[in-house]
Amino acid sequence: MRYGAKNLFEDASTAFTAGNRYGLTGPNGAGKSTFMRVLSGELEPQKGSIVRPRKLGVLRQDQFAFDAYTVIDTVMMGNKRLWEALEKRNKIYEHAQITDEDGIQLAELEGVVGEEDGYTAESDAALLLQGLDIPDELHQRTMGELQGGQKVRVLLAQALFGHPQALLLDEPTNHLDLDSIHWLQEFLIHFDGTVVVISHDRHFLNSVCTHIADIDYETIITYTGNYDDMVAAKAQVRSQVESQNAQREKKIAQLNDFIARFSAGTRSSQVQSRKKEVERLQLTELARSNIQRPFIKFELKRPSGKHVLEIEAVSKSYGKHHVIRSFTASVARGEKIALLGRNGAGKTTLLNALLENSPNIPESELRKTSGYDGKFLSSGNVIWGHEAAVGYFAQDHRRLIDAGTTVLEWLHQWDPSASNEEIRGLLGQMLFAREEADKSTDVLSGGEAARLIFCKLMLQKPNFLVLDEPTNHLDLESINALSIALQRYAGTVILVTHDQDLIDAVATRIWHLENHHLTDFKGAYEEFQSVTA
């Protein structure tokens, strides 16, 4: 598969065996989603062939394709044969008079409905939706009435519906909260068909996968084990080849030295044998990996005071709808807090309430990302401590980047004293090529926008980071770089994420928001789980 001058795959052959669960990995741009589209039949390969099972469950990426249909019908469409039979049956029943021909066709259709478990289809679909936290009252609503995150979960239920022989899931954990991710993990572990899944969630891949199909070096190499096993095996293989090449290079240098010294002398037969040995000792060619690793390092311009944030009886409601009730907490310098809760529980609302009068974050930034035009805090007090300087990564961070300017110009405004070379160096750390500094901010991808916000935070050097879903557009290498940066960061952090590995690695304290109430647990996520299990 090739796009212009970019070769994604060259003579790639692989097989996905029944009963195994494969993580499809590789850096951004390696061709994971393209390969998934080839597997599903949405895209034809330019060369080669694909053999597919009869029943294939595919997670659709188009959130708006089913807006006119009810939620329950959208899920049932996941079984194409059943859905077509139900539609044909309903059309026949609409006839004013049922003919003998209609009766024969109805009998055939009822056979299909029976074979495809059509008589329990609605209850089966409802169970899937409940597992993915789509409540019963939404099942008869149209998809157009749902929020983006809810639509993704319905489309996931559609892919899982109808007992497919194989599942193709492209980023299924996007927009899922931790409870829904845990439900999906359990479902896939007990699924008896084949699973091929793209995910940038390392914990999810390690929990679910029996094999990893890694896209790199313009081919697909399958490793036995989970993601961590693959990383170790891949490094070992490459290290062996590099070691062998180093030994061969040394031997070739010795032989070439002999050839140079004696080629004009009397030892011509020995020279010829040495030349043949040089030809035989050709180096194993190391293809260039697509993997690029950013370097994230958060520094402090100056430390904050010891008591960096005081929260006193903070509440937030929209009319009669309560989101947060009377939350009180004290945050000390250096604490790293993970804010957890189901989607829609009010995590971003709480962050906005804390940030409304914060140093460094203009209120206009909050309004850009939330779209809310009232007060973020209904009652209570938020008191920021001495020398607190806040850096903010918004969930809808794309809106924080002004259009109509270049990457370099936009970044420069956050530290006018920084030189162009310093800013270009920072962009280079975050994998922007030199010429991309002059790229228009209008055309940035989601991943590029996220990396640019990290450049801004590194330039500002705040002592308090508030990060709302920072991993959504990052690949595994970037998430790992962020995890290391936050662990080494000397400042204070409030982090909203559904990436369990990141929570495990970084959090020293857990805030859990459920039913408008915040639980404040001082300890790591593993301890919190054991206490609340």
Last residue of a domain, one of 191, 206, 230: 230
Indicate if the pLDDT at residue 148 is higher than 80.
no
265 belongs to a structural domain: yes
Same domain, 326 and 361: yes
Neighbours of 121 (CB within 10 A): 20
* Residues facing residue 384 across a β-bridge: 309
525, 479: one domain: yes
**The predicted structure's pLDDT at residue 526:** 93
Residues 62 and 150 in one domain: yes
Tell which residue, 487, 177, 506, has the closest CA to residue 348.
Answer: 177
CA distances from 205 to 66, 74, 477, 500 (A): 29, 27, 14, 11
More confident residue, 427 or 287: 427
Residues 162 and 244 in one domain: no
**Token couple for 280:** 């035989």
Last-in-domain residue among 215, 230, 245? 230
Arithmetic mean of pLDDT, 321-346: 93
- Other beta carbons within 10 Å of 195: 25
List, in sequence order, every residue forming a beta bridge with 312; answer none if it has no partner: 381
User: Is 257 in the same domain as 197?
Assistant: no
pLDDT in tens, 162-205: 889 999 999 888 878 888 888 889 989 999 999 999 999 999 99
pLDDT 10s digits, 498-524: 999 999 999 999 999 998 899 999 999
301 in any annotated domain:
no
525 in a domain, yes or no? Answer: yes
Judge contact between 287 and 237, C-beta under 8 A. Answer: no
Provide the CA 404 distance to its chain's centre, in angstroms.
28
Distances (CA, A) of 209 to 15, 31, 34, 354, 434: 15, 20, 21, 39, 38
pLDDT for 422 equals 92
- φ/ψ of residue 311, rounded to 5: -115, 120
Q: What gap in Å lies between CA 22 and CA 19, rounded to an integer?
A: 10
Q: Is residue 91 packed enough to be buried (19+ CB in 10 Å), middle (13-18) or exposed (0-12)?
A: exposed
Could you report the per-residue pLDDT of 90-110, keeping only the tens digit for each?
899 888 888 889 899 999 999
Specify the length of the chain in residues: 533
Q: Which domain holds residue 249?
A: 232-280
| DSSP code of residue 435 | G
Contact 126, 172 (CB under 8 A): no
d(CA 304, CA 301): 10
Q: Which neighbouring-strand residues pair with 166?
A: 56, 194
Beta bridge partners of 3: 6
22 with 169, same domain: the answer is: yes
Q: Provide the H-helix boundaries in 357-419.
A: 363-370, 407-412
Backbone angles phi, psi at 237, to 5 degrees: -60, -45
pLDDT in tens, 441-490: 998 888 889 999 999 999 999 999 999 999 988 888 899 999 999 999 99
**Residue 302, domain member (yes or no):** no
